[in-house]
Structure 1
Amino acid sequence: MVIVTATEPPASRSRSRRRPRLIATDLDGTLLHDDKSVSDRTVAALAAAEVAGIEVFFVTGRPARWMGVVSEHVHGHGLAICANGAAVVDLHRGRRVVRVRELPRRDALEVVRALREAAPGVSFAVERTGGIHYEAAYPPFYLDPGAVVAPAEKLLSDDLDDMDESADFAAQPVLKLLAHHPEMDPDAFLRLGREVAGTHAEFTRSSPSALLEISGPGVSKASTLARCCDERGISADEVVAFGDMPNDLEMLGWAGTSYAMANAHPAVLASTTHRTSSNEDDGVAEVVERLLAS
Structure 2
Amino acid sequence: MTANTITGSMVALVTPLHGDGAVDYVGLKRLIEWHVASGTHAIVAVGTTGESATLDYEEHIAVIRATVDLTAGRVPVIAGTGANSTREALALARGAKAAGADAHLSVTPYYNKPTQEGLLQHFRVIADAVDLPMILYNVPGRTAVDMAPETTLALAEHRNIVGIKEATGSIERMRDVMARRPEGFAVYSGEDNLGAASMLSGGQGSISVTANVAPRLMSRMAEAALGGNSEEAEHLDGRLAPLHRELFCQTNPIPVKWALHRMGLIGPTLRLPLTPLADFCHAGLEQALGEAGCLDRQ
TM class, shorter-chain normalised? 0.3 to 0.5
Name the TM-score, length of structure 2 as normaliser: 0.35
Larger helix percent? 2
Name the TM-score, length of structure 1 as normaliser: 0.36
Larger strand percent? 1
- Rg larger for: 1
